[in-house]
Structure formats: structure tokens, C-alpha cells
Structure 1
Amino acid sequence: MSQRKHAPQGLSFVDEMRVASMKLHPRNLAKEGEKEPEGPPVSQWEPSIEGLLQFLVDSKLVYDTFEAIIHQADYYAELRNTGLERSEKLAKDLEWFEYQKRAIPQPSARGHSHARYLEQVSDKDPQAFICHFYNVYFAHSAGGPIIGRMVSAKILNNKELEFYKWDGVLSQLSQNVRDKLNKVTSDWSRDEKDRCLEETEISFKYSKEILGLLIQS
């Protein structure tokens, strides 16, 4: 059983998730991160087109899975049509690469593994699912543009990918989703909230594996 019995004073539960995630974010992707980066900063990454395509394909599988679960399960209805959805944007990027005569790979084991895990926890462990939702969507909206600019400059002749664009003001979209997440979790017990926070490291492990595809040789 969790040892935490009381929420930090003055923090909403989304604030608590943010604090937990910031402890794991490398400083080169989150200004308030508390974890030293394990590798070179994003500016020193050397992505390849092949790695980028695999990263986009696997990311699309993960986002497809999130969005299908949210669409089908009434429990997650508050998280539908938030403006942070990425599947359609990723589909447009992959269509563009196809037009450029690039071969689009199949999802790798990393993407399938994350997608299967999301399907497993979405029904029996909603606290874990919400943790993954928060960390995947908010990590992308925060650190994604940094990665997107690097990729654009280094291998895409400054083309901006749709994956790193949002329809609307991102800060407003993000705040709206924070409000929705606080609503979804408002009736959770302290132990349920702690269960969610405890899933943070697992969420980061899956995301790190997929992000690593970007710079694989």
C-alpha cells in the first residue's frame, strides 16, 4: 500500500503528476527537470530519415491506441476531442513521406509493446492509463516542438511536420485538458492517486524506447 496519505498542500492532482514527471524529465527537454540527461542534448542528436519514419509509425500506433480506448470507454469520455490528439497529424506526415517515395515501415516491437500495455491497463487499471495519457500527451506538447525543430533543421530541409502543430493555442488546449484530468480524477482515493503517480517511471520507460527510434542507426 502507498505510504503517501495526504496531497501536497495547494496542489491539484494534475500538479502532483507534473511534479512526479519533472523528476524524470532530462533538463534538455524540460526547463524544470530534475534529472540529469543520460545522453547528449537534443541539439546534438543525429537523426536519420529511417529512424524518423520508424519513430513516427510507432508513435502513431500508440496515439491510435490512446484515441481508440478513449473513444470507446465511457470512463474516459472527458478526454475526447481535446485538441491534443495526434493520430490525424501523424497520418498526414506519413502520407507526405509516401508522396516523397519513402518506404513506410511497419510498427516495431516497441510500439506494439506500449500499445498492448495501454490496452491491458485501460480497463482494469485506469489510474495507470491516466498516468500514461498525461505523460505521453504533455511530454509531446512540451518537449516535442524542441525535437521537431531539430529534426526539421537537420534532415527535412526545414519542413515542419504536422506532428508538432496544433489547431489552436497550445497553452489553452493544454489547460483545458488539465482541467478535464482533474475532473476525471476528482473522486479517486489517495491510494488510487498514488497508484497513478507510481506508474510514472513505467510510462517514461515506454516513451523513451520509442523516442530512441528517432536516432537509431
Structure 2
Amino acid sequence: MVVVLATTAVDNKSKKRYPGESKGFIEEMRFVAMKLHTRDQSKEGEKEPEGQPVGKWEPSVEGYLKFLGDSKLVYDTLEKIVDKATFPEYAEFKNTGLERSESLAKDLEWFKQQGHSIPEASSPGISYAQYLEDLSEKDPQAFICHFYNTYFAHTAGGRMIGKQVSKTILNGKELEFYKWDGDVSQLLQNVREKLNGVAEGWSREEKDHCLEETEKSFKFSGEILRLILS
């Protein structure tokens, strides 16, 4: 009887369905990420809002340049890691069309031409870039969590923030950071399929490990985002 009960418990655990699992692993990633949004950011969010909503931000050009500079370091690092492909699955994400490093370089050059001084990368960007470097060498599941959250968040909330900042301090100018070649929805769909394909080769434990890294990706990206208000 004990053996039967134990076997049943294992079977039930193996049959447990994770939120979004039936639609592929990327839906599991999206579900976990959305839960970490605040209630004013998403109806799926569970966290209490901290500080003012984006619509009431009072950014400065200096703070925004810090954000762009640190963001560029992070995207430089992500794209270098993918290009190097220490783990074979990283190579799946080369030339997806979501890359942002080149666009950020153009934007920073535009600001320079307007007479602004471009700051060196600061602690939030340096810390995140170093963390990504270290993670990518030993933990592909956790690294891919950061890859997903960085690129996908930028096409959603990132664009909304960019539009608000542009309206506030750039007279509505749209930066290259917020433009993509081609249909961004299709680019995202292509990457979703690649992410689902890569995750098919992972165990349930590896998938869970990837999902558990989501909170760290939000912490790092949040520190960079707050530079806008510095």
C-alpha cells in the first residue's frame, strides 16, 4: 500500500500543469513575468506600486542619458554573449531583429551632436553586464530568462516609457531605440518559437530554474530604469 501511494504521489506531481504550460514554455515565462508587474502596470500584476506611475514621471535629459548608456552596455553584453554562443542554444538567438545595441549607438551619437555629454556606464549597468557575463558561462537556463525579459519588456513597457519620456523632454522625437526593421510582432513571434524550441530540450527542473531567475532580471532592469529619474 505504501508503495502504491508513493507511486501515485509521483505520478500526480509529474502531471501537474503549470500556468501557461499548455501553450509552450514561453507562456510560462510570460505568466511569471506579468505577476511581478505592479497592479497599475498590468491587470495580471500582483505587486504594490512603488513611486509615481510613468505618466507622472519628471525625467531629465541627464538621467535619460544615464539610462540609455547603461542600457547600451547591457545590450552590448547580451549580443556579444549570443554571438559567442558558449552554449549551442544561444546561437538560436543571433540576428533576431530585436537587437538594440546599434540603435542605441545611433541615439547616443544624436545626443552628442545636440551638444550633450555622454556619460560613462554607471554601477547598475556595469553590475548587470557582469552578472550576465558570469551567468552565461555556467547557467544557460537562467541566462535565457534574462534574454527573454530584457528584449520582450522593451517592446512593451519599454516603448510606453520611451514615448512618455520623448513627449516630456524631447519634443516628441522618436529614438532609434524604439524602432525595429520589419513588423515587431512577427519578430517577437519568431523568437517565441525559438525559445519554445530550446526549452523542449529542458527538464522540468531546468524550466523551473529559468522561471526562478525572473525576479532577478526585474531587479537589475529596474535599477537601470530608475536612472531616468536621477
Query: Under TM normalisation by the shorter chain, which class is it?
Result: over 0.9
Secondary structure of 1:10's counterpart equals helix
Q: TM-score, normalised by structure 1?
A: 0.94
Q: 1:138 aligns with which of 149, 152, 162?
A: 152
- 2:62 matches 1:37: no
Q: Is residue 155 from structure 1 mapped to residue 139 from structure 2 by the alignment?
A: no
Q: Following TM superposition, by how much is the alpha carbon of 1:133 offset from its aligned partner in structure 2, in angstroms?
A: 0.5
TM-aligned CA distance change 1:60 to 1:45, over 3 Å: same
Greater relative contact order (CA < 8 Å, ≥ 6 in sequence): 1
Measure how far apart 1:184 and its partner are: 1.4
Q: Cα distance 1:144–1:31, how it changes in 2: closer, same or farther (>3 A)?
A: farther
Partner AA of 2:140 in structure 1: P
Instruction: State how far apart, in whole Å, the 1-side matches of 2:40 and 2:95 are.
Output: 30
Say yes or no: does 1:107 pair with 2:118. Answer: no
Report matched runs for 1:53-72 at 5 Å. 53-72=65-84
Q: Within the alignment, does 1:117 sit opposite 2:131 as a pair?
A: yes
Q: Is 1:209–2:223 an aligned residue pair?
A: yes
Structure 1 residue 193: deviation in Å? 0.3
Tell me how far 1:126 sits from its aligned partner: 0.6
Structural mapping, 1:42-53, within 5 Å: 42-53=54-65
Deviations 1:72-118 (CA, angstroms, capped at 9, x unpaired): 11331110111110001100000000101110000001101000000
| Compared CA separation, residues 7 and 63, structure 1 to 2 (3 A) | farther
2:37 to 10, 18, 25: 25
**Counterpart of 2:127 in structure 1: which amino acid?**
S
Q: One-letter code of the match for 1:103?
A: S
Higher normalized helix content (fraction of residues)? 2
CA distance in 2, matches of 1:27, 1:45: 17
- Amino acid in structure 1 at the alignment position of 2:198: V
Measure, in 2, the Cα distance between the counterparts of 1:210 and 1:119.
17
- Number of the residue aligned with 2:23: 11
For structure 1, the 5+ residue unaligned runs are none
RMSD: 1.4
For 1:28 and 1:112, the matched residues in 2 are separated by: 29
Match of 1:89 among 89, 98, 103: 103
Q: CA deviation at 1:191?
A: 0.3
Q: 1:65 is matched by which residue type in structure 2?
A: T
Q: Name the aligned partner's letter for residue 138 of structure 2.
A: K
Q: Is the 8 A contact 1:28 1:42 kept in 2?
A: no
Report how many residues are paired.
213
Query: How far apart, in 2, do the equivalents of 1:47 and 1:176 lie?
Result: 34
Normalising by the residue count of structure 2, what TM-score does the alignment of the two structures yield? 0.89
Residue 174 (str. 1) matches residue 210 (str. 2): no
Computing the radius of gyration from Cα coordinates, the structure with the larger value is 2
Over 3 Å off, 4+ runs = 4-7, 27-32
Distance 1:81 1:120 in 2: 22
| Superposed CA offset, 1:107-155 (max 9, x none) | 0011010000000110201111001011111111111111111111100
Distance in 2, Cα, partners of 1:166 & 1:31: 27
